[in-house]
């Protein structure tokens, strides 16, 4: 799970992705320009969206990636609901 802030032209969109495939799907919808993909020496091919998704998915919290006027910042790598549920579970433990 990863949460991202996607900025473009002063607008910020926060999105969560359960897996890298969902992230690639979102990146495919963005208007990215430049190189469309890379063919590696071993004959494999990755689109720029797949390469960017790999970098983002493996990046650290607060790390920013820029491409085609977009600034994509990693907001978190943990499901927000899990944090809240963990807090509530601990709160109940100390409540009695």
**pLDDT tens track for 24-56:** 999 999 999 988 999 999 999 999 999 999 999
- Cα–chain-centroid distance for residue 34? 20
Please tell me the predicted confidence (pLDDT) of residue 78.
80
Mean pLDDT of 72-80: 86
Domain count, the chain: 1
Q: Are 2 and 80 in contact (CB under 8 A)?
A: no
**Nearest CA among 90, 54, 96 for reference residue 72:** 54
Please tell me the predicted confidence (pLDDT) of residue 3.
96
Lateral strand order in the sheet of 2-8: 11-17, 2-8, 70-76, 64-67
SS3 35: coil
Residues paired with residue 38 on neighbouring β-strands, in sequence order: 46
**Residue 37's domain spans which residues?**
2-95
């Amino acid at each position: 799970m990863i949460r991202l802030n996607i900025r473009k032209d002063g607008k910020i969109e926060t999105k969560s992705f359960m897996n890298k495939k969902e992230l690639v799907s979102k990146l495919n919808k963005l208007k990215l320009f430049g190189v469309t993909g890379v063919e590696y020496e071993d004959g494999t091919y990755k689109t720029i969206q797949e390469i960017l998704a790999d970098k983002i998915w493996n990046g650290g919290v607060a790390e920013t990636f820029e491409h085609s006027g977009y600034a994509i910042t990693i907001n978190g790598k943990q499901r927000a609901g899990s944090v809240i549920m963990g807090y509530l579970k601990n709160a109940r433990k100390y409540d009695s």
